[in-house]
């Protein structure tokens, strides 16, 4: 399946020999590799018995048995893929296990005792130009912010860094401190994208000045959908937020934004001819490309998380890790039912996959898997409390190997130890040598770096993207600093 049908052996000392391998090895004369999807699991077909035995006891229900319900006109590759499903059809009748993700899926509409407002923490993003380093691939990370006290609105556009955050400043605008890391890791393609936009709605009026946007996108098939999401989604959300009042309906706003985003991705892939990404060679309209999206809007009193796919947002509140999104895995019981109700099936092929292809049940893009795979996000709106410590957004490159609790523990430790953050411009040990130093919030950056390194240390084989947002109120920070356990503070060597 991975070898050519003809092999030329070059033997310099004698002559040239041409070996023709068994062309008819598939019986039907079809070259085997035509039927391999997804590419990485090609070998699995050989041992499908093994795959099936591994699946025993894991949920995999299928409706519409004996028929592949596809309303769409299948493209050539998708027809191939559907062919792949046939040999595995008899997996269809599997028991659906009791929902085990229930705890994870709790809605978080906890009411706060008193959302203090306005907050004391004052900071704005100051311009930082990362010394003119250019790299086209690094465009995937692009935090932006505005320092509104400056006469000109300066855009922070650090395209060349994988790790940074906003810095504090004596400005009226306040944004939680954050840190971002996004690395290629052990993969050969970078398909993650991160987008950070503090005060992204500020032109929309006073009410929305303190809306801050953070997003992590994990592409599959190619990187372009993730990249478009990074470039566009915050603008769409801004548009949808409009000039409406503070108590706007977040759920529908975010749902509309995601729907619009998905449309734009479709239009892009149908019209774009000048793309230089690798998917261009594979399918005419880049249909088999998509991206997860986990997007958070942090307002003075709320955390709005919209999720589509298997990236995740986790809140750390009073030492407890609370997931604010629930991964859209095809074997999540309600998602399984939804896929089935739409006429799709979930098939185990190197894990549960919609139609045996995609290992998540929702995503932006992925036209060829509609309507089973949808782009509608699940939105949670959580009231902020004084106990909130931090928010972590990350791609599955982190979550596959680091638990929510561990991640929160690591970030808490970083925030606690390096509290309070050094004032802007003070030479931190790292930042002194950091070419892209933007006076970023060191504690948050360190936390995101530490999580990334932990993921790499634990053999994560995927791209790793992590955003850490410090949600502590300034008052509280000083407080916690003063009564912090002494030993940990004494240990700091800077």
Partner 1 sequence: MSSSSALPSSAVYLSQITQNDNFEGETFHKFFDCWLAEQNKHLDDLFAAESSSSSKQNSNNNNNNIEDQDLKPLIDRVISHYEHYYEAKSMWAKQDVLAILSPSWMSSLEEAFLWIGGWRPTMAFHLLYSKSGLQFEARLRELMEGFRVCDLGDLSASQLTQLDRLQRKTIREEREITEMMARQQESVADASMVELSHAVSEMMRRKEGGREREKEREMEERVEETLGMKKVGLEEILKKADDLRVKTLKGIVGVLTPKQGIHFLIAAAELHLRLHEWGKKKDARKETMTRKTSSTPMLYNIAFIGDSLEKK
Would you tell me which residues interact with partner 1 (CB under 8 A)? 8, 10, 12, 15-16, 135, 137-138, 160-164, 181-186, 188, 190, 410, 413-414, 417-418, 429-431, 433-437, 445-446, 449-450, 452-454, 456-459, 488, 491-494
* Contact of 238 with 245, CB cutoff 8 Å: no
Please give the Cα distance from 375 to 257 (Å, whole number): 10
Question: Least CB distance from residue 486 to partner 1, whole Å?
Answer: 13
Hey, is 147 helix, strand or coil? coil
Q: What angle, rounded to 10 degrees, do the helices at 224-241 and 250-271 form?
A: 140
Phi-psi region for residue 211, left (φ > 0), alpha (ψ -120 to 50) or beta? beta
Residue 336 or residue 431: which is nearer to partner 1 going by CB?
431
Question: Least CB distance from residue 449 to partner 1, whole Å?
Answer: 5
The secondary structure of 8-19, three-state, reads EECCCCCCCEEE
Residue 164 or residue 240: which is nearer to partner 1 going by CB?
164
Question: Least CB distance from residue 10 to partner 1, whole Å?
Answer: 5
Residue 336 or residue 415: which is nearer to partner 1 going by CB?
415
Q: Which residues contact 362 (CB under 8 A, 6 or more apart)?
A: 308, 309, 328, 335, 373, 374, 375, 376, 377
* Contact of 313 with 387, CB cutoff 8 Å: no
Please give the Cα distance from 413 to 391 (Å, whole number): 14
Q: Kindly report the backbone phi and psi dihedral angles of residue 78, in degrees, each rounded to the nearest multiple of 5, phi listed first.
A: -75, -30
Question: Least CB distance from residue 456 to partner 1, whole Å?
Answer: 5
Q: Which residues contact 33 (CB under 8 A, 6 or more apart)?
A: 1, 2, 42
Please give the Cα distance from 417 to 376 (Å, whole number): 39
Question: Least CB distance from residue 155 to partner 1, whole Å?
Answer: 20
Residue 295 or residue 408: which is nearer to partner 1 going by CB?
408
Residue 103 or residue 433: which is nearer to partner 1 going by CB?
433
Question: Least CB distance from residue 248 to partner 1, whole Å?
Answer: 36
Residue 190 or residue 359: which is nearer to partner 1 going by CB?
190
Question: Least CB distance from residue 477 to partner 1, whole Å?
Answer: 16
Residue 10 or residue 93: which is nearer to partner 1 going by CB?
10
With tokens 């759920």, the residue in question is 251
């Amino acid at each position: 399946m991975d070898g050519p049908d003809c092999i030329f052996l070059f033997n310099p000392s004698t002559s040239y020999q041409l070996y023709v391998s068994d062309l008819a090895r598939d019986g039907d004369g079809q070259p085997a590799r035509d039927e391999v999807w997804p590419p990485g699991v090609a070998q699995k077909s050989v041992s499908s018995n093994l795959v099936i035995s591994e699946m025993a006891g894991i949920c995999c229900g299928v409706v519409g048995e004996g028929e592949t319900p596809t309303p769409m006109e299948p493209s050539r590759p998708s027809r191939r893929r559907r062919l792949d499903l046939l040999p595995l059809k008899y997996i269809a009748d599997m028991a659906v296990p009791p929902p085990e993700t229930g705890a994870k899926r709790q809605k978080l509409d906890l009411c706060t005792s008193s959302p203090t407002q306005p907050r004391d923490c004052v900071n704005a993003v100051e311009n930082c130009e990362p010394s003119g380093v250019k790299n086209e691939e690094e465009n995937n990370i692009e935090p932006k912010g505005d320092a509104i006290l400056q006469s000109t609105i300066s855009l922070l556009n650090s395209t060349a860094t994988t790790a940074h955050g906003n810095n504090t400043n004596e400005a009226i605008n306040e944004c939680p401190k954050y840190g971002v890391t996004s690395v290629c890791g052990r993969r050969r393609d970078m398909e993650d994208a991160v987008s950070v936009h503090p005060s992204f709605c500020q032109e929309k009026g006073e009410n929305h000045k303190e809306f801050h946007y953070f997003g992590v996108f994990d592409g599959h098939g190619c990187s372009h959908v993730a990249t478009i999401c990074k470039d566009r989604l915050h603008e769409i959300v801004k548009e949808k937020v409009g000039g409406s009042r503070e108590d706007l309906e977040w759920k529908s706003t975010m749902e509309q934004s995601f729907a619009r985003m998905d449309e734009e991705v479709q239009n892009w892939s149908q019209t774009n001819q000048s793309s230089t990404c690798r998917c261009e060679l594979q399918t005419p309209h880049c249909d088999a490309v998509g991206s997860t999206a986990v997007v958070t809007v942090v307002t003075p009193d709320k955390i709005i998380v919209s999720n589509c796919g298997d990236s995740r947002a986790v809140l750390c509140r009073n030492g407890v890790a609370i997931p604010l999104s629930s991964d859209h895995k095809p074997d999540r019981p309600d998602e399984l039912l939804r896929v089935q109700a739409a006429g799709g099936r979930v098939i185990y092929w190197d894990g549960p996959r919609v139609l045996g292809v995609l290992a998540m049940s929702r995503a932006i893009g992925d036209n060829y898997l509609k309507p089973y795979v949808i782009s509608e996000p699940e939105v949670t709106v959580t009231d902020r409390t004084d106990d909130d410590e931090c928010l972590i957004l990350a791609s599955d490159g982190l979550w596959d190997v680091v638990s929510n609790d561990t991640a929160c523990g690591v970030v808490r430790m970083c925030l606690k130890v390096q509290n309070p953050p050094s004032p802007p411009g003070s030479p931190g040990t790292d930042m002194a040598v950091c070419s892209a130093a933007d006076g970023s919030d060191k504690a948050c950056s360190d936390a995101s770096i530490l999580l990334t390194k932990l993921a790499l240390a634990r053999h994560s084989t995927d791209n790793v993207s992590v955003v850490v947002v410090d949600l502590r109120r300034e008052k509280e920070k000083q407080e916690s600093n003063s009564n912090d356990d002494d030993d940990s503070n004494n240990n700091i060597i800077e």
